[in-house]
Amino acid sequence: MEASNKPSPRPDQEGAPGGEVTEILRLRTAPFGEHPFAAVHAPRSLKHLAETPIVIFFHGWYGCLKVLLGPDPAPCRHDKPTRHAMDLVSQFNAAGVDALLVVPQLAFDQASSAPGGFFQKGRLGAMLAEILAHPRLTSHLPVGAKPGRVVLIAHSGAYMALGKALGQGGVDVHEVWMMDAHYLDVPELAPWFRSHLEEFLAGRRRMAFLYTEGEKTGTRTLRLLEELTAGMNEEERSRVLWRGEHPEVAPAEALSRPLVAQQTGVSHEKIPRVFLVPMLRTAQLPGGHQGR
């Protein structure tokens, strides 16, 4: 059972007050009943925060938590092929942010973009409430913890899960990152942007697209950004939008814009490994090594 694959803490942190914690939690509100789990990681105690910032990573096809969290490719099932690892825990620690990482288990080791329970109104909010109140996180979170700034990240085939979580999850979302995930139109993106236009213009919200030429997610991305900025004057457009081509990671000033579109030479599967740290450091999250 997947819950038995919880990563072990490092020896120098085991039992240490305020040290990092990584848990794979069985949840009533998980999006898939067959594998009702979500991985949760805090790089340090977050008890000092009035609200708990949360970064939610929606994995793509053939994903499973034990492989996504760790550094080494491995099969999700003993009789299946090796799957790509994302090294999410080490990257989150390297970013230096004071936030909670949540990785819901989507379709387990399948070629599926199904959002599962995120189709249901309020499901994301219910899942976060269950996580924040979970007894295995008591030592790291304040009593009665509430979500602070919320960041949604989709990689690859997770575009539908992100869209449903954004549109009807019952959570105030502040940033959306599509990591080579814009394969089909996500109808929830444009209404979310327009409903928070003033905050985007003020630089308090962000929508970022990272895409590769091979996956052909860029055409849909650029079309959407043209649509969203069509009514802006030249000064607003230049202040809000950045788009460009960089073989790896663009400068922080570019990634910090409210609307970001970067075509990268980084391979599709490696985008989370390369971009997660710089993107977290340019998010408006406490404790990051560099902010906006």
Residue 264 has pLDDT above 90, yes or no: yes
DSSP 8-state assignment for residue 256? T
30: which residues sit within 8 A by CB, 6+ positions away? 36, 37, 38, 104, 105, 117, 127
Give the tens place of pLDDT for each residue, 189-240.
Answer: 999 999 999 999 999 999 999 999 988 899 999 999 999 999 999 999 999 9
pLDDT at residue 2, as a whole number: 40
Residue 227: CB atoms within 10 A of its CB come to 11
Q: What is the pTM of this model?
A: 0.93
Q: What is the pLDDT of residues 75-89, one digit of tens each?
A: 999 999 999 999 999
Candidates 278, 283, 271, 208; CA nearest to 60 is: 271
Digit-coded pLDDT (tens) for 176-196: 999 999 999 999 999 999 999
Q: Residue 171 pLDDT > 50, yes or no?
A: yes
- Among candidates 208, 225, 212, 215, which has minimal Cα distance to 183? 215
CA dist 3 and 223 (Å) reads 42
* Token digits of residue 216: 């052909």
223 CB neighbour count, 10 Å cutoff: 12
Kindly state the average pLDDT of the residues 165-181.
98
**Better pLDDT: 168 or 16:** 168
Structural contact between residues 117 and 42, judged by C-beta atoms closer than 8 angstroms? no
The percent of residues above 90 in pLDDT, for the chain, comes to 90
Instruction: Indicate if the pLDDT at residue 23 is higher than 50.
Output: yes
Q: Is the pLDDT of residue 93 over 80?
A: yes
| Residues 110-141 pLDDT 10s | 999 999 999 999 999 999 999 999 999 999 99
Hey, what domains does the chain have and what are their CATH numbers?
17-281 (3.40.50.1820)
pLDDT bin (cut points 50, 70, 90) of residue 288 is confident
pLDDT of residue 18: 60
Question: pLDDT at residue 16 above 80?
Answer: no
Instruction: Work out the average pLDDT over 248-268.
Output: 97
**pLDDT at residue 256 in the model:** 96
pLDDT score for 40? 98
pLDDT of residue 280: 98
pLDDT band for position 17 (50/70/90)?
Answer: very low
DSSP 184-215: S--TTHHHHHHHTHHHHHTTS-EEEEEE-TTT
Q: Which two tokens stand for residue 281?
A: 């450091």
> Considering the chain, what is the average pLDDT of its residues?
92
